[in-house]
Amino acid sequence: MRIERLGSGEEARVVDVSHLFDSTPTEAAAEKMLAQSNHYLLIAYEDDVAAGFVTGIEMTHPDKGTEMFLYELGVDPRFQGRGIGTALVRALADQARDAGCYGMWVLTDDENAAALATYANSGGTADDLQHVMFAWEFDD
């Protein structure tokens, strides 16, 4: 397995692996994301086939410092169960350490057994807090 971080100018590569995403990515959105140095998109390849991805965002707060938010993890169903998700999470954690982040965090559903196992296997620990997420949707 090979894991690569995509960077500015590689928008077409994001579109080429659109099967990994929930919805089809656009070059414009990929360009905006990849141009920001605090945004991460890592792709895992098995025999030159895109098998999964992870995205992360460095977030800085005045009294806390900088941490990595694991935004999304996805593995093609054909490649699930092979440790690709765990490898991607570990690779993002390595990138976070290299960037000077003090930690990394992610939210997932307590019923998502695959995500819970992946995050635990990659060194994450679940906290004992109950979380409530609020969301705002804005019309175009």
Dump pLDDT digits (tens) for 92-110.
Answer: 999 999 999 999 999 998 8
Could you tell me if residue 111 is inside a domain?
yes
CATH code at position 42: 3.40.630.30
Terminal CA-to-CA distance of the chain, rounded, Å? 40
**pLDDT at res. 4:** 98
Tell me what the pLDDT averaged over the chain comes to: 94
**pLDDT at res. 139:** 85
C-alpha 86/C-alpha 88 separation (Å) is 5
Q: Which helix (H) or strand (E) holds 5?
A: strand 2-5
Residues linked to residue 4 through DSSP beta bridges, in sequence order: 43
**pLDDT at res. 10:** 96
Could you tell me if residue 135 is inside a domain?
no
Could you tell me if residue 129 is inside a domain?
no
**pLDDT at res. 133:** 83
Could you tell me if residue 63 is inside a domain?
yes
Which residue range(s) make up the domain with 62? Answer: 2-121
> Which tens digits make up the pLDDT trace of 54-84?
999 999 999 999 999 999 999 999 999 999 9
C-alpha 120/C-alpha 106 separation (Å) is 12
Q: What is the pTM assigned to this prediction? A: 0.92
Of the chain, the percentage scoring pLDDT greater than 70 comes to 99
Could you tell me if residue 110 is inside a domain?
yes
Number of domains in the chain: 1
Could you tell me if residue 127 is inside a domain?
no
Confirm if 54 and 102 have CB atoms less than 8 A apart. no
Confirm if 72 and 54 have CB atoms less than 8 A apart. yes
Give the start-end residues of each E strand in 10-129: 39-46, 49-61, 65-75, 104-105
